[in-house]
Amino acid sequence: MQLESLLSEFNKELGTVTKVADLLNLKAKYIGKQGPLADLMKNIKDASPEEKKRIGSVANEFKTSIEAIVSKKMLELEISEINASLEKDKTDISLTDSVLEKGLQAGGHHPVSIIQQEIEDIFISMGFEVLDGPHIEDEYHNFEALNIPATHPARDMQDTFWFADKKHLLRTHTSTIQVRGMKERKPPFRFVGPGKVFRCERTDASHEMVFHQLEGMMVGEDVSVGNLIYFMKTLLAEIFKRSVEVRLRPGFFPFVEPGFELDIQCLICGGKGCSVCKQVGWVELLPCGMVHPNVLKSGGIDPEKYNGFAFGLGLDRLVMMRYGIDDIRHLHSGDLRFNSQFKSY
């Protein structure tokens, strides 16, 4: 019978099919509208009624057999196509450093992240928590709660990136984390809060518009300037792994009283004077002081009973001192020749 030989031809061709698309073409070739089955059905009209019945049933059987074979083969092909693509996209998560050294490039950490991680570890080892805070702030957290009155120059439009609603801004310092941190805990407590800050400033060798600070705060019943100096000295000794010359001078910040500026002798020029230290030999690194009573009140803390210290470390300048980088703008350049010099924590 003609259909029987067609079926064996179909099976022969099927053996060579390896793709889903080819299988669909083969199916169309045999039982599609232009195929032999369709031709047979077109001619059936001239046959006798018994003949019509017989041809109809054989043709139907042929069609059903082909469809069954195709759907079985389809499943096999789909599974093998999925397996092949899984094999192709496989990631070997067991790649070792030695493999990477043979030619593949490993990513590195940005020097600011390296320093930030180290400082967090130092403070965690001294019992501090690490807190986070939002980049977009309101006037209350950035200024008011920190005892910065509306007339303070820090509120000047030139320093602050304001949103169009004039109520929200990009935080100008990490001191915003003090306010949120105080509200969420009861004394005694100590925490640090690192992060990006934003100022509408002209850039130069030591100034960027986006830079990093690390805020610190300790509140308790008998916190003193002595405690503050102890923690700052410990931090600097750990970071620089050598003794650095520091000086403490009075500094004004509305949220501390008394306030200090802790400067370190410029490690780029050794104190002789350069563009980083603006020829003075000292770099302003660590403003700090005893928390102002009004700020404690904003945090829901009784200033009659508790006191504390706070500091706001400039991370980018610390990175510059540690690695001998003479222009802060390298840090944000995105230049891989610069970034790839710093590999790990």
* Residue ranges in contact with ligand FA5 by CB under 6 A: 173, 175, 199, 201, 207-208, 211, 213, 253, 256, 259, 284-285, 287-289, 310-312, 314, 316-317, 328
CB 291 within 8 A of CB 217: yes
Nearer to ligand FA5, 187 or 287 (CB): 287
- Min separation Cβ 115 and ligand FA5, Å: 12
Helices 225-240 and 315-323 pack at an angle, to 10 degrees, of: 40
- Min separation Cβ 288 and ligand FA5, Å: 5
- Min separation Cβ 139 and ligand FA5, Å: 15
- Min separation Cβ 344 and ligand FA5, Å: 24
Which residues have C-beta within 8 Å of that of residue 142, sequence separation ≥ 6?
148, 160, 169, 171, 172, 173, 175, 176
Nearer to ligand FA5, 59 or 174 (CB): 174
Nearer to ligand FA5, 43 or 151 (CB): 151
- Min separation Cβ 216 and ligand FA5, Å: 8
Nearer to ligand FA5, 63 or 207 (CB): 207
Nearer to ligand FA5, 62 or 211 (CB): 211
- Min separation Cβ 80 and ligand FA5, Å: 58
- Min separation Cβ 293 and ligand FA5, Å: 14
C-beta nearest to ligand FA5: residue = 314
Instruction: Name residue 287's amino acid.
Output: P
Nearer to ligand FA5, 71 or 258 (CB): 258
Which residues have C-beta within 8 Å of that of residue 202, sequence separation ≥ 6?
none
- d(CA 288, CA 246) in angstroms, rounded, equals 14
- d(CA 64, CA 224) in angstroms, rounded, equals 91
- d(CA 251, CA 262) in angstroms, rounded, equals 9
Residue 10 to residues 20, 75, 77, 219, Cα–Cα distance (Å)? 16, 18, 17, 85
Nearer to ligand FA5, 27 or 292 (CB): 292
- What is the three-state SS of 21-85? HHHHHHHHHHHCCCCHHHHHHHHHHHCCHHHHHHHHHHHHHHHHHHHHHHHHHHHHHHHHHHHHH
